[in-house]
Amino acid sequence: MYSPAPTGDAPPDVRCGGQRVLVSSVSSDSHTWNLVFLQLMLEELGHEVINIGSCVPDDLLIEECRRTNPDMVVISSVNGHGHLDGRRLIGRLRAEPDLSGLPVVIGGKLGTRGAENRMYGPELLAAGFDAVFEDTAGVAPFRRYLAQAGRPALDRAPRGTPALVASGEIA
Ligand code: B12
């Protein structure tokens, strides 16, 4: 689904009052409607969205973070491998000095255990995600997170706060 823009075709550095949000799936996941849903919701909230699609290799995500300079990265996965792909991916991203402080969240159906997928929250946070949103909690926790992080682009929420997992919020 994803076809990278040619080098030099980076979007202009504007924030339009909202945030520039890079939406992506993980390398193994071919589902796309989850990404379309997130894009539409984020755009409705006034954010600028760059949706790089499904089956995105880690290297390509890193490259796109550098090329598009987002305020936030939103990772979505529903095929059940999200907790594994996510852990690997965030490790790669945090190992890059220029991307180590970039706000990155993950959500969706992160395992194959339904509501019990919330068990993956703590390990994904420990691996480096700023917040984890399990599918069964709906999108309200994510909208609250965005409202907090949506203050002026340079006033980013400090890493690790607030983390929202499943139906509960953890400090
Ligand atoms: C359509 C579909 C497909 C289509 C996808 C077509 C496409 N272009 O996207 C096809 C047929 C290709 C497909 C393939 C597969 N699928 Co499929 N698929 C579905 C199905 C029926 C609907 C998904 C969908 O589009 N939903 C609509 C979108 C809008 O909703 P959503 O994806 O649920 O996302 C919501 C939330 O999860 C949340 N969310 C998602 N990401 C994020 C991120 C953040 C930050 C936040 C806050 C919220 C959030 O917000 C969204 C809106 O509420 C679901 C079952 C179902 N009823 O959900 C299975 C399902 C997702 N698939 C599943 C599986 C296993 C597969 C396959 C592995 C099957 C196989 N053995 O080949 C492959 C995946 C291969 C791969 N490499 O990834 C499983 C995943 C199991 C799990 N996680 O427990 C499901 C749940 C079916 C099931 N019950 O077993 N699939």
Compute the distance from residue 84 Cα to the ligand 1 centre, in Å. Answer: 16
Cα 147 to middle of ligand 1, angstroms? 26
pLDDT at 153 over 80: no
Residues lining ligand 1, judged by CB closer than 6 Å? Answer: 28-34, 37-38, 74, 76, 78-80, 105, 107-109, 112, 133, 135, 139, 142
Q: Which residue's alpha carbon is nearest to atom 41 within ligand 1? A: 108
pLDDT, residue 7, reads 42
**Residue pLDDT, tens place only, 8-28:** 444 444 444 489 999 999 999
- Predicted confidence (pLDDT) per residue in 49-67, tens digit: 999 999 999 999 999 999 9
Would you state the structure tokens that stand for residue 38, as one six-digit string? 């997130």
78 alpha carbon – ligand 1 mean position (Å):
5
Res 150: pLDDT: 59
In CATH terms, 20-170 corresponds, of 3.10.20.80, 3.40.50.280, 3.90.25.10, 3.90.1200.10, to 3.40.50.280
CA–CA dist 18, 35 (Å, integer): 19
For all residues of the chain together, what is the average pLDDT? Answer: 84
Confidence check: pLDDT of 145 > 60? yes
- Which pair of structure tokens corresponds to residue 43? 């755009």
Closest CA to 32 of 46, 57, 59, 52: 52
The whole-number pLDDT of residue 5 equals: 43
- The model carries a pTM of 0.89
Separation between Cα atoms, residue 68 and residue 99, nearest integer Å: 12
For residue 34, how far is its CA from the centre of ligand 1 (angstroms)? 7
161 has pLDDT over 90: no
Amino acid found at 70: P
pLDDT of 70-117, one tens digit each?
Answer: 999 999 999 999 999 999 999 999 999 999 999 999 999 999 999 999
Mutate to test the pocket of ligand 1, among 78, 81, 118, 124 (most ligand atoms within 8 A of CB): 78
Taking the centre of ligand 1 as the mean of its atom positions, its distance from the CA of residue 31, in whole angstroms, is 6
Token pair, residue 52, equals: 């790089």
